[in-house]
A and B are shown apart, each in its own frame.
Chain A
Amino acid sequence: MSTKICVVGGGSGGTIVANRLAEKLRPELESGEAEIIVLNDKPEQIYKPATLYMAFGRSELSEVKRPVEDLLDPGVDFRQKKAVSIDPESKQLGLESGETCNYDCAVLTTGSKLDMAGIPGLKEAGHHFYGPDGSEELREELANFESGHLVVSVMGVPHMCPVAPMEFSFLADDWFRTRGLRDEVEITYTYPVNDIFGLDTVANWARPLMEERDINIETFFNPEEVDSSEKVIHTVEGTEMEFDLLVAIPPHKGAELVKSADLGEGEWIETDKHTLEATRAKDVYAIGDAADVPTSKAGSVAHYESGVVADRIASQARGRTPSARYDGKTVCFIDGVDGNKATFLQFKYGEEPDLPEESKLIHWAKHSYNEAYWLTAKGLL
């Protein structure tokens, strides 16, 4: 009897888990006892961390995207189709085309997307760096911005790559400093809670660096509306902030099928944090941003989770008891201090990370990894 595995999503988690499965189940794939399908609505994968650098002209679109099919093992069947629903009872995915796709085991790597409409006025007045289109637009804004108030505002958590707003602030500081414009540009970083980051260790590391670089900090700042004509942010707390250039980290939302199938309370799939099984649907796993596990929405999480899920599914396909467990391992670089220094944080569930002193060496390690990322997507690194 054949085991049919459907991976929904062709981002980092999707290609890594599919490739790891292909490697583990090679004999079964060749004998027809296993089938691996990847469904993705777009033909290409975007390496999202690099779009941050696009905004500063340090990276090009051609460098941050690859055809999904080129990243997948030849034993994996890629279909450019969008899954819009899932019925865990009948083990069937509904596709936008009207077709259906049955599965024995599904891996949901449906990610998160920006909700620019989540805050009135944001779409009209705000910019972002979380995708090629946003970063291309922002590059033009930055290139022409010579004076005024730049506001970097985290408008909701959780969001992709939690340290990216800090990185953007450091890179912006360096961008204007090297152009001799820093005295003309005021930079403010805002965060929703009463510190500048959710982890104390990171907040304690970043706060003095921001203060030394005259980056203003505003906490307990939760935008409710953006007045695009007056260029003013109004907050839930009743405060206001004027801006000339707004770089927002918009609220995020999950895939529609998560809500329609009631896989979680809100936007994310209710997931066992160790087994990565969806708790509301049998034989369904969740990886990456889509899962509600208590760690960052970061590419490294999807990477490490993929190995665990591939191991568990391969065990199940062979009639064994799956034993691999995800321990919450997360790694995030924080780049951009003075333009060319970085540090990184690494932690597991319940741990506070240690941060090495920021250095050029770590900065170049990060950029080397950016180049090597496509090997990770192929499941090789």
Chain B
Amino acid sequence: MSQVNYDPDVIVDSRDATCPGPLMDLIGKVKSAESGALLELRTTDEGSKNDVPDWIDKAGHELLETVDQGDYWSIYVEKS
């Protein structure tokens, strides 16, 4: 569990989607989000824990935290 209580502006629920679905879902929502928006990606695909942070780094956004929610992960991103 996270120590921070995030209040995301956009929730991207990609649970049960396989690679590259979660990342592509996130990219789609980041494109339309406002600068500074907080997004939460929910994913059950373990690969997302690597490729999503890599993409966030390349695209210049900020990875706030990856939280293990038990049966899925929440990846919190702030759009630059």
Contact = CB atoms under 8 A, between A and B. Distances in A.
Given A198-B19, A294-B17, A294-B18, A220 B24 contact: no
Given A236-B59, A237-B58, A194 B24 contact: no
A194 B55 contact: yes
**Range, interface on chain A:** 10 to 19
A142 interface: no
B17 A220 contact: no
B60 interface: yes
Given A193-B19, A193-B23, A294-B17, 19 more contacts: A157-B24, A192-B20, A192-B23, A192-B24, A192-B27, A194-B55, A198-B20, A220-B54, A220-B58, A220-B59, A222-B27, A224-B31, A236-B27, A236-B30, A236-B59, A237-B55, A237-B59, A238-B59, A238-B60
B46 interface: no
Interface in B1-26: 17-20, 23-24
Contacts of B55: 193-194, 220, 237
Given A224-B31, A236-B31, A294-B17, A193 B58 contact: no
Q: Give me the 8 closest cross-chain CB pairs, A-B, nearest first.
A: A193-B20, A237-B59, A220-B58, A194-B51, A198-B20, A237-B58, A294-B18, A222-B27
A97 to B, nearest CB: 35
Interface string A152-192: 00001100000000000000000000000000000000001
Contacts of A198: 19-20
A222 B59 CA distance: 10
Contacts of A294: 17-18
A193 B55 CA distance: 8
23 contacts: A156-B24, A192-B20, A192-B27, A193-B19, A193-B20, A193-B24, A193-B51, A193-B55, A194-B51, A194-B54, A198-B20, A220-B54, A220-B55, A220-B59, A222-B31, A224-B31, A236-B30, A236-B31, A236-B59, A237-B55, A237-B58, A237-B59, A294-B18
Contacts of A236: 27, 30-31, 59
B20 A157 contact: yes
Contacts of B23: 192-193
A338 B7 CA distance: 53
A105 B66 CA distance: 44
Interface of B: 17-20, 23-24, 27, 30-31, 51, 54-55, 58-60
A61 B54 CA distance: 43
A157 B20 CA distance: 8
Contacts of B30: 236
A166 B17 CA distance: 24
Contacts of A220: 54-55, 58-59
Contacts of B20: 157, 192-193, 198
A237 B18 CA distance: 22
Contacts of A238: 59-60
A156 B59 CA distance: 17
B63 to A, nearest CB: 15
A294 B44 CA distance: 14
B35 to A, nearest CB: 13
Contacts of B27: 192, 222, 236
Contacts of A222: 27, 31
Contacts of A237: 55, 58-60
A156 B51 CA distance: 16
A93 B79 CA distance: 42
A157 B28 CA distance: 11
Contacts of B60: 237-238
Nearest to A191: B20
A236 B19 CA distance: 19
- A156, A193, A237, A238 — most chain B CB neighbours (10 Å): A193
Interface string A216-233: 000010101000000000
Nearest to A350: B18
Among the interface residues B17, B18, B58, which one has the most CB atoms of the partner chain A within 10 A?
B58
Contacts of A157: 20, 24
A156 B20 CA distance: 11
A222 B56 CA distance: 13
A233 to B, nearest CB: 14
